[in-house]
Amino acid sequence: MQKRLLLDSQLLQITIQRLCQHLIENHNDFSSALILGLQPRGVFLANRIQKVIQELEGCHVEIGYLDTTFHRDDFRRRGIPKKASETRVPFLIEGKDVILVDDVLFTGRSVRAAMDAMISFGRPKKVELLVLIDRLHTRQLPIEANYVGKQVNTLASQYVEVGLKEQNGDDSIWLMNIEAE
Amino acid sequence: MNQLIKNNLLGIKELSLEEIELIFETADNFKDVINRPIKKVPSLRDVTIANIFFENSTRTQLSFELAEKRLSADVVNFSSSSSSVKKGETLLDTVNNILSMKVDMIVIRHSSPGAPHFLAKKVNSKIVNAGDGTHEHPTQALLDTYSIRERLGSIEGKKVVIVGDILHSRVALSNIFALQKLGAEVMVCGPATLLPKYISALGVKVELDIRKALNWCDVANILRIQLERQRKSYFPSLREYSLYYGVNKEMINALDKEIIILHPGPINRGVEITSSVADADNALILDQVENGVAIRMAVLYLLAGKLE
C-alpha cells in the first residue's frame, strides 16, 4: 500500500494555530460564537482549538459535540447500522454563530447530516465549517469549508488516515492508496 | 458489536447478552434525543411500520407509536376490535394483507403465545413482539432492566424479586430471561396458586412470604393483578391478595436498606401497591415509561438497519 504524508505532528500544530488565528480574526472574543465538533475526530480537534484560543486570546469558547449517525442519508445503504456516539450541546445555539469542526471534508454528506442534527438545537444566525483536510473534486453536495487546514487533490479510491494522539495515534495525517487487486 | 444478530425481536430468550447491551447503548443515545427541544431524528423516514394489536393496550401501543414517530417512520395502526378479524379472517391473511400495502416492519401484540414466532416464519418482514399471551414481552423487560441499570449503574450481582401473578405474566418471564442474562439473581414471590409449578427449573428462587422477599432483594418488580387473564379464582378476593401481597410503606420502612420499586403499569393503587410506595422517590415507575420510548426506538432502529 502506497502512502503519502500530508501533515506531521509539527505541521499539524502549526496548522491548528493558523486556523485559530483565523477564527479569532473573524469572531473576536467568541461572545456570540460556538464550536460544534463532529464525532468522532472533529471532537478532538474542537477540544484542541478551544485550548489554543484560550492560550492565544485568554477567552473561553464553548464547545459541543454532534453525532450525525441518526441524520445520515445513507442509513441502510451501507450494510450495517452505525453505532452512535454522544451528542452534547449544553447551550442554546439560537441566534449564535456556529463553527462546525471536522477532520476531513470528502463528499460533504457528513456535513449535511451535521447541519440537520444541529438544527434540532435551534436556528443559528450563521454556520461556518472548519476542516483540517479538504479533499478537492470529491464533493457530492454543494458544501465548502470556510477554514481549511490543507487542500489535497485526491482520487475517490484513496482515503485520508487521521492518527490523532487522542486516539493513540502520533498526530500524523496520511493519504493512502487502496491498490486494486 | 454494532448490529443485532436476529432479524426479529420475538423474545428475550433468543437475545444474546451482547445484543441486549447494544440495545442499551443505542437507547442511551435515543434517550438523549427525546430530551431535546426537537425530539425527532430522520433515520427511518423511508420505513413504514404497522402496529397490529389483537389485544387491548394503551401504553405499549402509545410508546411504540411515539418511538416510531420520533424516528420519522410512517405509522399505521390496526386493532382487532375494529377490523375484519371479527369477520373471521386468519392472522396470516390479515398480516399478508397489511404487508401487501408495502409495510416494512410489524409490531404485534396477540393473545396467543407464539403468534409473532409463527408470523416470523411465514412472512418476510421485521417483526417485533409487543406481547404474546402469557409468553414474552421483550421490550418491557428491556426497559425494566434498562431502568435498573440507569439507577444502580449495573445489573450484575443485583437481587431482583418479581412479585405477583407470575403464572399469567409475560412481563415476568421476559424479565427473568433478561435479568439472568445480565447477571442478576432472580426471585419470584406470590401466592402458590399464581406461581408456575416448575418455575424453579428456570433457576429462580421461589418465596411465598413477601416480607422475606423484600428483605432479600435490591429491586422489587411489582406486577399488576391481571383479572382479565384469570378464568378461575386463584385467590379468594382482591382484598385478601392485597392483605398478604400488597406492598405498603410500612413494609418498605421496616427494611434496613433502600430498595428500588418497579411496576410495569397500569397500577391498581391499593391492590398490589399502595400510593405511598408507588409515588416515592425510589419508585422508577415513570422512568420506566420514559425509558420505554428510548428502548423501543433503539430496537426499531437496529432492526430497520437490517432491512434490505
Contacts of B300 in chain A (CB under 8 A): none
What would the mean pLDDT of A117-145 be, rounded to a whole number?
93
Question: Which pLDDT value is given to residue B232?
Answer: 66
CB contact under 8 Å between A81 and B25, yes or no, is: no
Residue-averaged pLDDT of chain A: 90
Cα–Cα dist B248/B245, whole Å: 9
CA distances from A95 to A99, A127, B149 (A): 13, 10, 38
> A84 vs chain B: nearest CA distance in angstroms?
7
Distance, first Cα to last Cα, chain B:
20
Residue-averaged pLDDT of chain B: 92
CB contact under 8 Å between A116 and B42, yes or no, is: yes
What would the mean pLDDT of B84-106 be, rounded to a whole number?
86
Contacts of A83 in chain B (CB under 8 A): 2, 22, 25-26
Q: How confident is the model at residue B283 (pLDDT cuts 50, 70, 90)?
A: very high
Q: How confident is the model at residue B173 (pLDDT cuts 50, 70, 90)?
A: very high
Nearest chain B residue to A78 by CA distance is B305
Comparing B85-99, B140-154, B282-296, which segment has the lowest mean pLDDT?
Answer: B85-99
What would the mean pLDDT of A14-20 be, rounded to a whole number?
96
Give, in degrees to the nearest 5, the angle at Cα A112 between A46 and A19: 30
Q: How confident is the model at residue B260 (pLDDT cuts 50, 70, 90)?
A: very high
CB contact under 8 Å between A71 and B307, yes or no, is: no
Architecture of domain B138-288: 3-Layer(aba) Sandwich (3.40)
CB contact under 8 Å between B41 and A82, yes or no, is: no
pLDDT digits (tens, 9 = 90+) for A47-106: 999 999 999 999 999 999 999 988 888 777 766 667 788 888 888 899 999 999 999 999
Contacts of A87 in chain B (CB under 8 A): 29, 32-33
Question: Which pLDDT value is given to residue B37?
Answer: 79
Question: Which pLDDT value is given to residue A74?
Answer: 78
Q: Which of A31, A35, A95 is nearest to A62 (CA)?
A: A35
Our measurement of the distance from residue A129's CA atom to the centroid of its chain's CA atoms, rounded to an integer in Å, reads 7
pLDDT at B295 over 80: yes
Asked if B246 and B271 touch (Cβ cutoff 8 Å), the reply is: yes
Q: Which of A41, A71, A101 is nearest to B72 (CA)?
A: A71
What would the mean pLDDT of B193-214 be, rounded to a whole number?
95
Q: How confident is the model at residue B83 (pLDDT cuts 50, 70, 90)?
A: low
Of B2, B36, B41, the CB nearest to A81: B2
Q: Where are the domains of chain A?
A: 3-73+84-177
Nearest chain A residue to B38 by CA distance is A120
Cα–Cα dist B185/A31, whole Å: 54
Query: According to CATH, what is the number of the domain A3-73+84-177?
Result: 3.40.50.2020
Nearest chain A residue to B5 by CA distance is A80
CB contact under 8 Å between A83 and B33, yes or no, is: no
Of B33, B36, B307, the CB nearest to A76: B307
Question: Which pLDDT value is given to residue A34?
Answer: 95
A-B Cβ pairs (cutoff 8 Å, strict):
56
Q: To the nearest whole percent, how much of chain B has pLDDT over 70?
A: 96
Our measurement of the distance from residue B1's CA atom to the centroid of its chain's CA atoms, rounded to an integer in Å, reads 24
pLDDT at A32 over 90: yes
pLDDT at B139 over 90: yes
Cα–Cα dist A58/A139, whole Å: 37
Question: Which pLDDT value is given to residue B14?
Answer: 95
CB contact under 8 Å between B2 and A70, yes or no, is: no
- Continuous segment of H or E residues that includes residue A24: helix A9-27
> A39 vs chain B: nearest CA distance in angstroms?
13
pLDDT at A174 over 70: yes
3-state secondary structure at position A156: coil
Chain B residues 48-77 with a CB less than 8 Å from chain A: 71
Set of cell numbers at residue B265: 403499569
Cα–Cα dist B235/B193, whole Å: 7
Set of cell numbers at residue A123: 436556528
Instruction: Give the A-side interface with B, CB within 8 Å.
Output: 67, 69-72, 75-76, 80-87, 116-117, 119-122
Q: How confident is the model at residue B141 (pLDDT cuts 50, 70, 90)?
A: very high
Question: Which pLDDT value is given to residue B103?
Answer: 93
Comparing A77-81, A163-167, B93-97, B124-128, which segment has the lowest mean pLDDT?
Answer: A77-81
Q: Answer whether B17-136+289-304 and B138-288 agree in fold.
A: yes
Q: Between residues B12 and B58, which one has the greater pLDDT?
A: B12
pLDDT at A114 over 90: yes
DSSP bridge pairs for B51: B77, B107
Our measurement of the distance from residue B110's CA atom to the centroid of its chain's CA atoms, rounded to an integer in Å, reads 14
pLDDT at B297 over 60: yes
Please tell us whether the domain made up of B17-136+289-304 is placed in CATH 3.40.50.1370. Answer: yes
Question: Which pLDDT value is given to residue A122?
Answer: 87
Cα–Cα dist B61/B74, whole Å: 15
B23–A contact, CB cutoff 8 A: no
Give the alpha-carbon dihedral of B87, B92, B95, B101, to 10 degrees: -100
What would the mean pLDDT of B152-166 be, rounded to a whole number?
96
3-state secondary structure at position A17: helix
Question: Which pLDDT value is given to residue A79?
Answer: 62
Q: Where are the domains of chain B?
A: 17-136+289-304, 138-288
What would the mean pLDDT of B266-280 be, rounded to a whole number?
93
Residue whose grid cell is 432479600: B216
3-state secondary structure chain B: CCCCCCCCECCCCCCCHHHHHHHHHHHHHHHHHCCCCCCCCCCCCCCEEEEEECCCCCHHHHHHHHHHHHCCCEEEEEEHHHCHHHHCCCHHHHHHHHHHCCCCEEEEEECCCCHHHHHHHHCCCEEEEEEECCCECHHHHHHHHHHHHHHHCCCCCCEEEEECCCCCCHHHHHHHHHHHHCCCEEEEECCHHHCCCCHHHHCCEEECCHHHHHHHCCEEEECCCCHHHCCCCCCCCHHHHHHHHCECHHHHHCCCCCCEEECCCCCCECCCECHHHHCCCCECHHHHHHHHHHHHHHHHHHHHCCCC
